[in-house]
Chain A
Amino acid sequence: MAEFLLNKHSRIKKGKEFPAPSGAKNVRTFRIYRWDPETGENPRMDVFRLDMDDCGPMVLDALNKIKNEIDPTLTFRRSCREGICGSCAMNIDSYNTLACLKPIADIKGDVVITPLPHCEVVKDLIPDLTHIYAQYAAIEPWLKADTQPPPNGERLQSIEERARLDGLWECILCFCCTTACPSWWWRNDRYLGPAVLQQAARWVFDSRDEYTDQRLNELNDPYRLFRCHTIMNCTGTCPKNLNPGKAIADLKIAMYDRSE
């Protein structure tokens, strides 16, 4: 059965409070999920109060400020700080998004930050993405062709063939969508999830790829692809404004087109 309750070691307790610096006029409150595997304690929500007049505009700026100036043990992934590496994906104000692209001013009330949902937590805001990476590897996300490329150049595509990949190749694999998908929550042992399926579509619809048939064979399963019930959390949450729901629908139609 699906598990609907957290076990008692995962329930979130009240955490520490860090007050705003004296004299701060523009204070925002950040409630941040903390868990350290080495202490054996339950996870807790720490409360940090920051002076917004002395902080950058994005949620990632606030996290960096906390780590640099208040609590260096706060642990999170980040790299590019401009929405292209996908590292700082986390759940902010109940939506999965990138901390570097989320303006603090867009959030009403306290800024509540937790790790991506339904993943095991490595520490604080870092989810364990091992299984998602393995699912990505399982679709063999590279060009597969038996025909050799022309000796004097690269494999050609028409402008239309190349345009078919727009909206698919831009994915940065932050997995905000996959971890927002209830079908993936309950059945990720077999269901691949929106990010991986969108990348499967990226290769299925690539005119240069010659393994379309085998790629579709691998997806022809009531769970791997068809566990998508068009809930559309994926499209709603994508910080790059892509549409994994449409990519999955296109895969289902391709599957149907070859079924009769």
Chain B
Amino acid sequence: MQSFRSPLGRARGLGPSREAATGHWFSERLPALGLIPLMLWFIFCAVIPNIGASHAEFADFLTNPLNATLMILVVLLGFYHGLQGLLVIVGDYIGTVVVRNFIVFFLKLYAIFGAALASIAVLKLSIGG
């Protein structure tokens, strides 16, 4: 489509969104820092010592409130951090606004559902028996 809009008009576009751009940038970084110790705990305290454990033994591991809390934090921060990263990738490569908003909506839905499902599973093992 031919456009007679001036180059400056095109460069200014619809203007800056100003909605939480800085907040989003920072929210990618803070949970990432939190995930460093959490992932160390997850690998070296939750996974490796429990390799080969039975369902009952692992349920017993999660009855410790500290273990259950840390496991839920791994789930919540993991999904949150993954969502933030995916949103950036979608912003990079999906140019069409309607398609982008559609994908962003389903990514958020997936993250919320996944985080809720995994958290309930941990809680069920921890207190449901």
A interface vs B, CB < 8 Å? 1-2, 130-131, 133-135, 137-138, 183, 186-187, 189-190, 217-227, 229, 252, 255-256, 259
Contact = CB atoms under 8 A, between A and B. Distances in A.
A218 B7 CA distance: 18
A2 B94 CA distance: 7
B43 interface: no
Given A190-B13, A255-B21, 6 more contacts: A1-B94, A131-B11, A138-B11, A183-B92, A189-B10, A221-B21
A39 B17 CA distance: 43
Given A130-B7, A131-B11, A187-B92, A256 B26 contact: yes
Contacts of A187: 91-92, 95
A186 B93 contact: yes
Interface of B: 6-8, 10-13, 15-18, 21-26, 88, 91-96, 99
Contacts of B21: 220-222, 225-226, 255
Contacts of B26: 256, 259
Contacts of B24: 222, 226
> Could you say which of A189, A218, A226, A229 has the most chain B C-beta atoms within 10 Å of its C-beta?
A226
Which residue, B12, B16, B23, B94, has most C-beta atoms of chain A within 10 A? B16
Central interface residue in A1, A189, A222, by most chain B CB within 10 Å: A222
User: Interface on chain B toward A: helix, strand, loop, or mixed SS?
Assistant: helix
B16 A220 contact: yes
Contacts of A222: 17, 21, 24-25, 91
Contacts of A220: 16-18, 21-22
